[in-house]
Amino acid sequence: MPNLIYLLLRRLRSPLITLILVYAISMTGYVLIPGENNNLEPYQMSFFDAFYFVSFMGTTIGFGEIPYEFTQNQRYWTLICLYATVISWLYGIGSLLSVFQDPAFRQQTKLNRFKRSVTRIRQPFYLICGYGETGRKLVRDLANDGILSVVLDSDEGPINDLEVNDLSISPLWLKADASDAQVLEIAGVNHSFCQGIISLANDDRVNLTIAIVGQLINNNVRLIARADTKEAESNILSFGANEVINPFETFASRLALALHSPGLHLVTEWTTGPRDKKVDEFSLPVKGTWIICGFGDFGRAAYRYLDEVGEKLCVISADRQGRDVPAGTIIGRPTEAATLKKAGIDNAVGIIAGTGNDPDNLSVLMTAHELNPNLFRIAHQNEDKNKPIFDAAKLDLVMQRGNLIADKIFALLRTPLLGDFLRIIGRFNKERANQLASRMIGVMGSDYPELWEITVSEEEAPALYERLKYSDIFIKDLLRHPDNRDRSVSAMVLFLKRGEGNVILPEDSRKLRRGDRFLMCGNKTANHKMQITIRNASYLEYVLTGMRLPDSWVWRTLMKNKEFSELFNKT
């Protein structure tokens, strides 16, 4: 704020001095020029009279000639002063307005307002750097979940949409370069309610800078970053990022998973996929040749992962000078039927359109469909606005970068244990993965799965925490229904983190300890019921022993009396 006032004062220096001088000269003139009163006796205006007259003359209010009608000489002087004061006022007001219009001044105003509202935040929030398609979806998801976000983006464009938004929790935003340490600090990296930094810039270098700056300023904060290349990914990880998400790698690895371990693919999709619809298993073609069109970041990742799981591949690249393309690559435009035929489309089982151009991708897939209607078609959708055409094309699988990252980040924010869980189950063989998937179907039913975390702490599970001080509790007790302990809620424990140790799918007979963190999976009702058990001591007592504790003070006091409680228990 002080900056603003000084900026304003500095700009207004010359109009103010002009105004003071003009007033001083006019007033001196009126005081010196002899006048007459109503009786034609000489009258000299006092300084007060002069100031009063000049004030209303300069502001064009004009009450008339006071205190007495002017003489001719005074009127001459008035004529001069009139124009001088009005012009200097216009000059002053004009300068004031131009200061308000000044981009530097407006940026400063916005910065101040942003800074003030960030310091006033009294609820957990996430700092999101980069407001593109991913950022927009993530902010929306977070707002729907009741979480505030602070958004930074240096580009003109989408971020302006935030000025008018229909989100339930309106995010705070600033158009500024997030890789600037000062900006990050203003945006609340050090704020005690800052839950994490999410870096989603299009440029890997920017993400890297944000990661470095973020970790140096406050290394306690959770950091999730996006990276488009493998080098950037490992680089950002080395600076202490908790999670790095590479959209192309993520999608390609899921594709490979779907081909060689459908169970694992389903578990991954359920846990990190969209929250509004359940992903069903899709039938992938039997083994055969896959055609990859375009060998950019996406094509490359797809090639590497599919090659790893032993698929036969054929790459079509339009780039004649393509470096490090695999052997047998067909050079040509994939949109032409001749090129596709040359790549052996008649015998292929699937085609992946991975060029950087949406119309091209669609055109490839349409042509391919005409040539071979049985093909499994996968498209890379580059821009969010093209969603309707991709939907209309009825493709088997569409990779949408923004949604993919946003969904995964949202899942990781809600349940941070998910990152460790996914890393561990990534090593599962087919049978174990299928077992896990069917157990998950068992608890979640036909709905999409609800994931949540339980931390055995005083704040999050007060009843459980107290109880653990003097008795043993097992996981199977935790899963009992709080209304009928013989039934169990539709939930399962996916993962347990105890200190530094990880337990995947812990058995039912395992004892709970204070400080344990559980990753749970089930449906919404189960989540709600479990919250009741772990927070309410009387429900917990019932779940553990079958005894119902008296709720009210009167009843508790009565039950303390032995005779009464015996009488009551007999009847």
Partner 1 sequence: MRTEKVIFAFFIVLALTLNFGFFLGDFSNVAHHNVYELFAAIVVSLIATVLKFGDRTHLGSVFLATSLVADLQLICAAIVWGMNSQGAGATLDEHSLATIISLSGGALLANIISVVLLVAETINLRR
Q: How many CA atoms lie within 13 A of 559 on its CB side?
A: 11
Least Å distance, CB 10 to partner 1, is 3
Do strands 501-504 and 397-400 pair parallel, antiparallel, or not at all (unpaired)?
unpaired
Closer Cβ to partner 1, 9 or 337, answer by number: 9
Query: Which residues, 6+ apart, have CB-to-CB distance to 352 below 8 Å?
Result: 255, 290, 291, 292, 293, 299, 302, 378, 379, 380
Strands (E), 283-416: 289-293, 312-317, 330-331, 348-353, 376-381, 397-400
Closer Cβ to partner 1, 99 or 128, answer by number: 99
Query: Which residues, 6+ apart, have CB-to-CB distance to 376 below 8 Å?
Result: 284, 285, 349, 350, 351, 396, 397
Rounded Cα distance between 227 and 492, Å, is: 33
Closer Cβ to partner 1, 43 or 428, answer by number: 43
Closer Cβ to partner 1, 52 or 428, answer by number: 52
Closer Cβ to partner 1, 12 or 371, answer by number: 12
Closer Cβ to partner 1, 10 or 277, answer by number: 10
Would you state the structure tokens that stand for residue 439, as one six-digit string? 């157990």
Do strands 42-43 and 148-152 pair parallel, antiparallel, or not at all (unpaired)?
unpaired
Rounded Cα distance between 348 and 419, Å, is: 36
Contact between 207 and 239 (Cβ < 8 Å) = no
Query: Which residues, 6+ apart, have CB-to-CB distance to 283 below 8 Å?
Result: none
Least Å distance, CB 123 to partner 1, is 35
Rounded Cα distance between 73 and 249, Å, is: 89
Least Å distance, CB 25 to partner 1, is 9
The residue type found at 330 is: I
Closer Cβ to partner 1, 20 or 216, answer by number: 20
Contact between 122 and 115 (Cβ < 8 Å) = no
Rounded Cα distance between 518 and 495, Å, is: 6
∠ CA 358-360-366, rounded to 5°:
105
Least Å distance, CB 103 to partner 1, is 19
Least Å distance, CB 184 to partner 1, is 24
Closer Cβ to partner 1, 23 or 376, answer by number: 23
Least Å distance, CB 180 to partner 1, is 21
Rounded Cα distance between 348 and 326, Å, is: 18
Rounded Cα distance between 518 and 215, Å, is: 27
Rounded Cα distance between 422 and 402, Å, is: 21
Length of the chain: 571
* Interacting residues with partner 1 (CB under 8 A): 6-7, 9-10, 12-13, 16-17, 20-21, 24, 27-28, 31, 46-48
Query: Which residues, 6+ apart, have CB-to-CB distance to 564 below 8 Å?
Result: 558
Least Å distance, CB 219 to partner 1, is 33
Least Å distance, CB 47 to partner 1, is 6
Closer Cβ to partner 1, 48 or 100, answer by number: 48
Pick from 171, 192, 167, 189: nearest CA to 179 = 189
Closer Cβ to partner 1, 13 or 511, answer by number: 13
Contact between 316 and 293 (Cβ < 8 Å) = yes
Least Å distance, CB 20 to partner 1, is 5
Least Å distance, CB 82 to partner 1, is 20
Look-up of token digits 């298993």: 281
Least Å distance, CB 39 to partner 1, is 12
Closer Cβ to partner 1, 95 or 531, answer by number: 95
Rounded Cα distance between 117 and 151, Å, is: 13
Least Å distance, CB 9 to partner 1, is 4
Closer Cβ to partner 1, 41 or 280, answer by number: 41
Beta-bridge partner residues of 313 = 290
